[in-house]
Amino acid sequence: MRSHEPREAMPLGFTHDVHAPRVVFGAGALDRIPEELDRLGASRVLLICTARRGDAVDRVAAALGARLAGIFDGARMHVPAEVADAALDEARRVDADLCIAVGGGSAIGVAKAVALGDGPPFIAVPTTYSGSEMTTIWGISANGLKATGRDPRVLPRTVLYEPALTLSLPPAVTAASGMNALAHCVEALYAHDGTPVSSLMAEEGIRALAANLPAAVRDGTDGEARSGALYGAWLAGGSLGAVAMGLHHRICHVLGGSFDLPHAETHAVMLPHVAAFNAPAARDAMRRAARALGSEDVAGALYDLREALGCPASLRELGMMQGQLNAAADRVMESPYPNPRQFDAEDVRALLRDAWSGRRPSSID
Ligand code: NAD
Tell whether ligand 1 has an atom less than 6 A from the beta carbon of residue 50. yes
Q: What is the mean pLDDT of the chain?
A: 95
pLDDT digits (tens, 9 = 90+) for 265-299: 999 999 999 999 999 999 999 999 999 999 999 99
CA 286/CA 290 separation, integer angstroms:
6
Q: How far is CA 105 from the centre of its chain?
A: 7
- Would you list the DSSP string of 185-214? HHHHHT-TT--HHHHHHHHHHHHHHHHHHH
pLDDT digits (tens, 9 = 90+) for 101-146: 999 999 999 999 999 999 999 999 999 999 999 999 999 989 877 7
Pocket test for ligand 1, best of 263, 270, 337 (most atoms within 8 A of CB): 263
| pLDDT higher than 70, residue 9 | no
**Torsions phi, psi of 76, nearest 5?**
-135, 160
Partners of 147 in beta bridges: 140
| pLDDT higher than 50, residue 1 | no
Tell whether ligand 1 has an atom less than 6 A from the beta carbon of residue 154. no
Ligand 1 centroid distance, CA of 11 (Å): 35
Instruction: Name the closest-CA residue to atom 32, ligand 1.
Output: 78
Ligand 1 centroid distance, CA of 9 (Å): 36
Tell whether ligand 1 has an atom less than 6 A from the beta carbon of residue 310. no
Ligand 1 centroid distance, CA of 327 (Å): 26
